[in-house]
Structure 1
Amino acid sequence: NAFISGILIGLIAPLLGVFIVVRRLPLIADALSHVSLAGIAAGLYAGKQFAVLAGVSPIYFGMAFPVAGSLIIERLGTAYKHYQ
């Protein structure tokens, strides 16, 4: 499984990297990595605090938070065009 995921990441990461550099957003990857870490922490906390979420893997929170964060960053980028 680790070998297959490494191959998939090796194929997908350069494609996303080119897209990020062309759009002049190289620091968004750093921001989203921190957001995903916060998502995993929130998933762990929610699993401990709420019995309904005890069976949900924190990885799902770790995937949902960066998607929401990227949408928020894009919304802020369109609202504040002079602060790119």
Structure 2
Amino acid sequence: MTIDVMTIMIILSVHFIILSIWKESYLSYIFLCIFVVGFIFVIFYYRKKQELVIRKVLRSFWRINFFLFSLAYIFLIFFGIGKKIVEAI
């Protein structure tokens, strides 16, 4: 339950970090990225298991999103700090 809420929070955090760095909203691209990751994940899952158990697929997909957006969050934090330092020089 906690990871589900945190995934939503991290996705929104990535959106607002992007908004603060580039002053533009890329929320539609974030949703497109989530959709593409889900599509690719379902294809790989089906090839491996030869069946789709929706509950397991959704749980695994949500965890993958948590991992990917956590990496994006960390990267964007450091990128934003670096960009502000360069702008200050």
Identify the structure with the greater helix proportion.
2
State TM-score, norm by structure 1.
Answer: 0.47
Greater relative contact order, per chain length (Cα 8 Å cut-off, separation 6+): 2
Normalised to the residue count of structure 2, the TM-score between the two structures is: 0.45
